[in-house]
Amino acid sequence: MLQTLLKGVFEWLKSAAGITILSSIVLAIVVAMNRGPFILVNVVVMGGIMALIAMGLAMVLGVMNVAQFAHGEYFMVGSLIAYLIFTPMAEYLNQNPSPVLAFLAPLLTIFCALIGGGLAGAITERLIFRELRKRSKENWVMNTFLLTVGISVILINGHQLLFGTDFKGIVRYWSGPPFSFYDMFMSRDRVYTMALAIIIVVCFWLFMSYTRTGRAIRAVSQDEIGALMVGINLDGIMTLTMAIGCALAAVSGGCLLYMYPSYPTVGLEPLYLAWIIVILVGLGNIMGAFVGGFVVALLKVVTVEYVGAGWDFVVPIAIIIIVLIFKPSGIFGTEVRGALDK
Amino acid sequence: MLLEVTNLDSGYGFLQILRSVSLSIDEGEYVCIVGPNGAGKSTTLKSIAGLVTPSNGEILFKGEPIGGLPGNKVARKGISYISESLNLFTNMSVQENLYMGAYTIKDRKLQNDQLEFVYELFPRLEERKNQLAGTMSGGERKMLAIARGLMSNPTLLLVDEPSFGLAPQLTENVFASLDILKQGGMTILLVEQNIHKTLAVTDRGYVLENGKIEIEGKSSDLADDPHVKKVFLGV
């Protein structure tokens, strides 16, 4: 019994997933001992948020087979909603201080970003992708890719037209002294957003694994015809998928408003990062995207620490190129039989 | 009549496969459609199951028109289609696949009753309930596909080529389980290439050639029909 278990563990450690996870943990520990534990905090904060964005992207890709290049714009929508809601609330709180409200206001803001992003995603699906699906399924991947690029252009320019190009940011969500932990100081915003990201990821994972609807979403990503045969309403699942995917991007935008102020092209960096993660772990693999978020965050943080801040995109991309040469289906393989052959 | 198909025209895009196909099935009957490759047997089943939209004709199920409805709505009316390529959810466990089959049943207790029923029919699946569907052998996958189709407690089972790609021994097993279902009162419409076996087990049959029903009648009569003998059995 123990022997088979150990054998299984060794087998897993020899697989690409095992090697990646193990070497990431080793790298994290070595760097933390060398430069200090604050590295780990940065990785967890960055990683949690990046995992959220990448999971949304992976889900849309896996279920709808849409190469979503407007994902960053839903991040932008989320940060804009958060800004528009939080600024008046902060002003009100300045005049009428109240510790309870000061704690709740950012939570409400981020919740609104989540709902707003979900609605935006659902509307996009209903108005654009469903109409396309009804009319033609030929060249679906290419057509939807071009559509998402179009959506991205419209949203970026829409933001510019309606709200201008200036940075719409806030100084902080939660005021107060930073938390201290051993000899590190962590701002309240970081700790709270990290906690929020983890709660959302866990809820999302539970939803996908154990609920009837979550199972249906996975079923559609594995076999659309099979899903139809057991009585799943494809249109409903597609709308829900897009809504959840966009909501995850938007809630990340809301969470990170204190780091990334809202401006028209704020979504580009998260978009690139999410695509890097999704390609690295294998297209459409949702749980892989969760792990990949942390791996890429670690690579970024380590690069900034040892090489320089300008290199934090170069090193992860170089590593991805190397990984893809040796394992073209990505680290965790892929559930989707090639995003291109459906 | 449980299912009544009248003058059905169907096909893919501009390609018309079925030309004025009519057939009917009574409750509890075990009916087969046989015919050579490319005759339109699978297309007939797919049109009934709502996976291919018919261009003309009428499909009545329990007196209700279901022609042109999408597959998920047809499935909800109580028709289970078991496709040739199975369409299993390969990255889910056997049990999860079965629960997906009962997607249209909301009551947890009914779901578990159905699960018990299919495990009794295919004890092999219970042994493998935590295995991923994609890692099972061809015969086991076929069993799983049939079991998943049964999970929704259907009134009509459409089975497409159950012997496709199976060893003769496993084919026997699949036919045996269909027999058990028939004994239990299930209505089955079977499409098969294995004409000997099919005509031996079914009550009634249709011979489909070039998208048209050429002959229909009792399976025992069909097996003796000179045309069938000449075309399919080579005697």
| Continuous H helices in A256-267 | none
Q: How confident is the model at residue A338 (pLDDT cuts 50, 70, 90)?
A: very low
Q: How confident is the model at residue B173 (pLDDT cuts 50, 70, 90)?
A: confident
Residue B91 contacts A, CB cutoff 8 Å: yes
Contact assignment for A219 to B100 by CB distance below 8 Å: yes
Residue B11 contacts A, CB cutoff 8 Å: no
The SS3 of residue B193 is coil
The per-residue pLDDT for A323 is: 82
pLDDT > 70? residue A336: no
The per-residue pLDDT for B226 is: 87
The per-residue pLDDT for A77 is: 96
B70, B81, B91 ranked by CB distance to A335: nearest: B91
Q: How buried is A339 (Cβ within 10 angstroms: 0-12 exposed, 13-18 middle, 19+ buried)?
A: middle
Domain boundary among B111, B126, B147: B147
The DSSP code sequence of A92-133 is HHHHS--HHHHHHHHHHHHHHHHHHHHHHHHHHIIIIIHHHH
Chain B (29-88) residues lying within 8 Å, Cβ to Cβ, of chain A: 49-51, 70-72, 75-76, 80-81, 83, 86-88
Contact assignment for A216 to B91 by CB distance below 8 Å: no
Q: How confident is the model at residue B145 (pLDDT cuts 50, 70, 90)?
A: very high
Query: What is the interface size between A and B, counted as CB pairs within 8 Å?
Result: 68
Interatomic CA distance for residues B146 and B164, integer angstroms: 13
Q: How buried is B63 (Cβ within 10 angstroms: 0-12 exposed, 13-18 middle, 19+ buried)?
A: exposed
Torsion sign, CA atoms A61, A67, A71, A72:
positive
A204 Cα distance to chain centroid = 12
Q: Which strand (E) or helix (H) includes residue B126? A: helix B123-127
Closest residue on chain A to B150 (Cα): A230
**How many domains is chain B built from?**
2
pLDDT > 80? residue B115: yes
CATH number at residue B174: 3.40.50.300
Closest residue on chain B to A221 (Cα): B89
CA distance A229 to chain B (A): 6
Range from A35-44, B91-100, B175-184 carrying the lowest mean pLDDT:
A35-44
More confident of the two residues A181 and A52: A52
The per-residue pLDDT for B138 is: 86
Residue B92 contacts A, CB cutoff 8 Å: yes
For chain A, the average pLDDT equals 89
Residue with tokens 């996958």: B141
The per-residue pLDDT for A339 is: 41
Contact assignment for A218 to B91 by CB distance below 8 Å: yes
Q: How confident is the model at residue B79 (pLDDT cuts 50, 70, 90)?
A: very high
Choose the mutation target among B12, B87, B118, B146 for the interface with A, i.e. most A CBs under 10 Å. B87
CA distance B51 to chain A (A): 8
Residue with tokens 């700790």: A191
Query: What pTM did the predictor assign?
Result: 0.88
Residues of B with Cβ-Cβ distance to A215 under 8 angstroms:
92, 96, 99-100
pLDDT > 60? residue A254: yes
Same domain as B193, residue B215: yes
The SS3 of residue B206 is strand
Q: How many CB atoms lie within 10 A of CB A35?
A: 13
- Inside any domain, residue B83: no
* Residue span of the structural domain in which B103 resides: 90-147
Same domain as B64, residue B125: no
**Conformational region of residue B105, where left means phi above 0, alpha means psi within -120 to 50, and beta covers everything else:** beta
Same domain as B124, residue B64: no
Torsion sign, CA atoms A227, A232, A235, A236:
negative
| Continuous H helices in chain A | 2-14, 16-35, 38-64, 71-95, 99-124, 130-135, 140-163, 188-210, 212-222, 224-229, 234-255, 268-281, 286-306, 314-326
The per-residue pLDDT for B164 is: 83
Same domain as B126, residue B27: no
Measured between alpha carbons, how far is residue B207 from residues A200, A288, A296 in Å? Answer: 57, 50, 61
What percent of chain A is modeled with pLDDT above 90?
52
Angle between helices A286-306 and A16-35 (to 10 degrees): 30
Q: How confident is the model at residue A331 (pLDDT cuts 50, 70, 90)?
A: confident
More confident of the two residues A86 and B195: A86
Mean pLDDT across A155-170: 94
Q: Give B106's contacts (C-beta < 8 A, 6+ positions apart).
A: none
The per-residue pLDDT for B14 is: 85
Domain borders along chain A are 43-267
CB distance B167 to B87 below 8 Å: no
Same domain as B160, residue B56: yes
Residue with tokens 């939807």: A144
- How many residues can be counted in chain A? 342
Same domain as B222, residue B162: yes
CA distance B113 to chain A (A): 17
CB distance A339 to A67 below 8 Å: yes
Residue B105 contacts A, CB cutoff 8 Å: no
Contact assignment for B100 to A216 by CB distance below 8 Å: yes
Q: How confident is the model at residue A342 (pLDDT cuts 50, 70, 90)?
A: very low
CB distance A270 to A76 below 8 Å: no
What percent of chain A is modeled with pLDDT above 70?
97
- Inside any domain, residue B84: no
Strand order in the sheet with B3-12: B15-25, B3-12, B56-61, B64-65
A216, A223, A234 ranked by CB distance to B103: nearest: A216
Choose the mutation target among A221, A229, A232 for the interface with B, i.e. most B CBs under 10 Å. A229
CB distance A332 to A87 below 8 Å: no
- Inside any domain, residue B175: yes
The per-residue pLDDT for B20 is: 92
pLDDT > 90? residue B44: yes
Residues of B with Cβ-Cβ distance to A218 under 8 angstroms:
89, 91-92
For B127-138, b where at least 16 C-beta lie within 10 A, e where not — what string? ebeeebbeebee
Q: How confident is the model at residue A334 (pLDDT cuts 50, 70, 90)?
A: low
pLDDT > 70? residue B47: yes
pLDDT tens digits along A96-154: 888 888 899 999 999 999 999 999 999 999 999 999 988 888 889 899 999 999 999 99
CA distance B235 to chain A (A): 39
Q: How many CB atoms lie within 10 A of CB A285?
A: 27
pLDDT > 80? residue B235: no
Same domain as B159, residue B60: yes
pLDDT > 50? residue A318: yes
ipTM of the complex in this document: 0.89
Same domain as B181, residue B209: yes
Contact assignment for B75 to A233 by CB distance below 8 Å: no
Mean pLDDT across A229-243: 94
